[in-house]
Amino acid sequence: MKPALRKVVFPVAGLGTRFLPATKVVPKELLPIVDRPLIQWAVDEAVAAGADTLVFVINRNKRAIADHFDVAYELEDTLVRREKHDLLRVAREVLPAGVETVYVVQQQALGLGHAVLCARPVVGNEDFGVILPDDFIFDRQTPALAQMAKVHAEHGGAVVAVEPVDPEWTSRYGIVGGQNLSADLVKVSEIVEKPAPADAPSNLGVVGRYVLPGRIFELLASTQPGAGGEIQLTDAIAALIAEQPVHGYRFSGRRFDCGNKLGFVEATVAMAMEDPATAQALRASLPAIIDGS
């Protein structure tokens, strides 16, 4: 049987200040990479991992995310009347049949750990996935969370996505330390949120994909504010290490940090190159655009 993660949590209550003024009204998760909003790429990845319940942790400024996944009756009706069947399918496939959405409000921005804890009433005591949509990961074969679901089915406990980061940038990530079990798997013995390079246990940075046991909620509930004064998911995972195996998984695929402009633009170019509608023409026009000629 294909390992499935039924519930996936999307913490999407962040401010998105790096993209102002674009994010003044539009949630950053709705900014498109080519023609799909970031959150749509994340949802597609969750569904590919077997998810049938998508839990969005939002705030009052993120209600447009719920609109995006809602049925757009007027649009669909118009497309039906105009016999635009392909577009109709695109509009409907935003949320595949049998997949449900749940919206949970994070009333105070107390950190990623707190955001995940807000999903507790929906997730309960099950194993679940977390996707941070800012970390956009593209793999032509198997989306990252599905890769991780497989690792989780084999090893249980928790699985966090990791990749080597520039040693000078450890203070931007959760960093894991531990024993290499294979080329793509680390048995994590230590995890630290945003350490200075001198304090980092390695240069393996946590990327925004997690498979976690329901137990994490109890640990989060007693996690005190950590780095940046926020309740950190990393600190609850650190507490979990004493109880259950925690693995770092070096996913295959390319990750783009869409929390900043450069990563966002790179992701856009990469996905436009994957799209037969734009690839050839873009390949021809990019050199001149880059040279400014």
Binding site for ligand G1P (CB under 6 A): 112, 132, 135, 173-174, 193, 205-208, 232-234
The H-assigned helical ranges of 241-278 are 261-274
Least separation, in Å, of the C-beta of 21 and ligand G1P?
A: 22
Whole-number Å distance between alpha carbons of 173 and 171: 6
Task: For the CB of residue 160, give the shortest distance to ligand G1P in the complex, in Å.
Answer: 9
CA neighbor of 45 nearest in space, from 133, 122, 119: 133
Kindly state the smallest distance separating residue 101's Cβ from ligand G1P, in Å: 22
Burial of 231 (0-12, 13-18, 19+ CB in 10 A): buried
Min dist CB 48 to ligand G1P, Å, is 20
Whole-angstrom distance, CA of residue 102 vs CA of residue 104: 7
The torsion angle over the Cα atoms of residues 233, 99, 263 and 91, rounded to 10 degrees, is: -160
Nearer residue to ligand G1P within complex by CB, 58 or 94 = 58
Smaller CB separation from ligand G1P, 133 or 272: 133
43 or 233, CB closer to ligand G1P? Answer: 233
Which of 30, 40, 11 shows the shortest CA–CA distance to 106? 11
**Closest CB to ligand G1P among residues 79, 202:** 202
Smallest gap from Cβ 132 to ligand G1P, in A, equals 5
Nearer to ligand G1P, 132 or 200 (CB): 132
Judge whether 105 and 98 are in contact, CB under 8 Å.
no
As given in the structure block, the two tokens for residue 131 are 């996707």
Closer residue to ligand G1P, CB minimum distance, 51 or 206:
206
Query: In terms of DSSP H, where are the helices of 28-111?
Result: 38-48, 63-69, 73-81, 85-92
Cα distance from N-terminal residue to C-terminal residue, the chain? 54
Structural contact between residues 237 and 216, judged by C-beta atoms closer than 8 angstroms: yes
What are the two backbone dihedrals, phi and then psi, of residue 223, each rounded to the nearest 5 degrees? Answer: -80, 130
Nearer to ligand G1P, 61 or 278 (CB): 61
The CB-of-182 to ligand G1P minimum distance in angstroms stands at 22
Shortest separation between residue 208's beta carbon and ligand G1P, angstroms:
4
- Using CB positions, name the residue nearest to ligand G1P: 174
